[in-house]
């Protein structure tokens, strides 16, 4: 593992990192006087990376497969994030407030969060649907089928991610958590199960 200290406000520094060679890039929220300023800097970095990817693809004819993940402080900025080409992002304010609200009403969930946020133990993963079902079965599934398939691998399925809805705000960006076990799912090979598991394999 290597660590580099670079100026993220410098396009040249970003180019020198060759970001298109990474599997994924996570941009965490920095510091600022308010959420708007913090998110503005995050979006600037996102747009610069997208332009670097675009230029690299045009110059080499190579497709860039790097996943961009961003931490967004203000949920009102999600439309701008989607337009910047980011399909995976973490809404810090919503995430923390929902955990606190749940823990205040149901203190028994705290051991679960300790497990999730500790360095050891199980974690949440987005796993490709191909790990669980052959292509011919994808059009006939319920959420119960997904739960059973995950259990057969020693995992707990808590939802699905529908890639076709990744840019649809009204569909929660394709994330469907704890649907009815009877819910019919029209899944494709581009979709994923959201599971609690020991590793990503």
Per the CB < 8 A criterion, the answer to whether 86 and 105 are in contact is no
Per the CB < 8 A criterion, the answer to whether 189 and 129 are in contact is yes
- Candidates 2.60.120.920, 3.30.70.1230, 3.20.20.70, 3.40.50.1370; CATH matching 11-95: 3.20.20.70
Q: Please, where are the H alpha helices in 18-177? A: 35-60, 78-83, 92-105, 110-117, 143-151
pTM: 0.57
The residues, any chain, with a CB within 8 Å of residue 98's CB and separated by 6 or more, are none
Distances (CA, A) of 24 to 19, 100, 115, 150: 9, 29, 24, 25
**Predicted local confidence at residue 17, as pLDDT:** 92
Q: What pLDDT digit, counting tens, does each position of 53-102 carry? A: 999 999 999 999 888 877 777 766 566 666 666 655 555 555 566 667 77
Q: What pLDDT digit, counting tens, does each position of 141-185 carry? A: 999 999 999 999 999 898 899 988 887 878 888 888 888 999 999
Span 122-197: which CATH code? 3.30.70
Q: Where do the CATH 3.30.70 domains begin and end in the chain?
A: 122-197
Q: Where do the CATH 3.20.20.70 domains begin and end in the chain?
A: 11-95
> Strand, coil or helix: what is 3?
coil
């Amino acid at each position: 593992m290597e660590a580099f200290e670079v100026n993220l406000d410098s396009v040249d520094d970003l180019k020198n990192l060759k970001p298109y060679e990474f599997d994924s890039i996570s941009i965490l929220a920095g510091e600022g006087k308010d959420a708007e300023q913090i998110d503005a800097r995050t979006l600037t970095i996102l747009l610069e990376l997208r332009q670097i990817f675009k230029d690299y693809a045009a110059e080499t004819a190579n497709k860039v497969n790097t996943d961009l993940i961003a931490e967004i402080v203000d949920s009102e900025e999600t439309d701008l994030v989607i337009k910047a080409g980011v399909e995976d992002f973490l809404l810090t304010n919503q995430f923390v407030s929902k955990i606190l609200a749940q823990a205040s009403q149901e203190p028994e969930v705290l051991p679960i969060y300790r497990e999730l946020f500790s360095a050891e133990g199980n974690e949440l993963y987005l796993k490709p649907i191909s790990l669980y079902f052959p292509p011919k079965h994808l059009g006939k599934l319920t959420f119960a089928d997904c739960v059973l398939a995950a259990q057969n691998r020693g995992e707990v399925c808590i939802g699905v991610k529908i890639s076709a809805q990744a840019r649809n705000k009204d569909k929660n960006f394709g994330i469907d958590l704890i649907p009815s076990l009877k819910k019919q799912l029209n899944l494709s090979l581009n979709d994923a199960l959201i599971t609690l598991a020991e590793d990503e394999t």
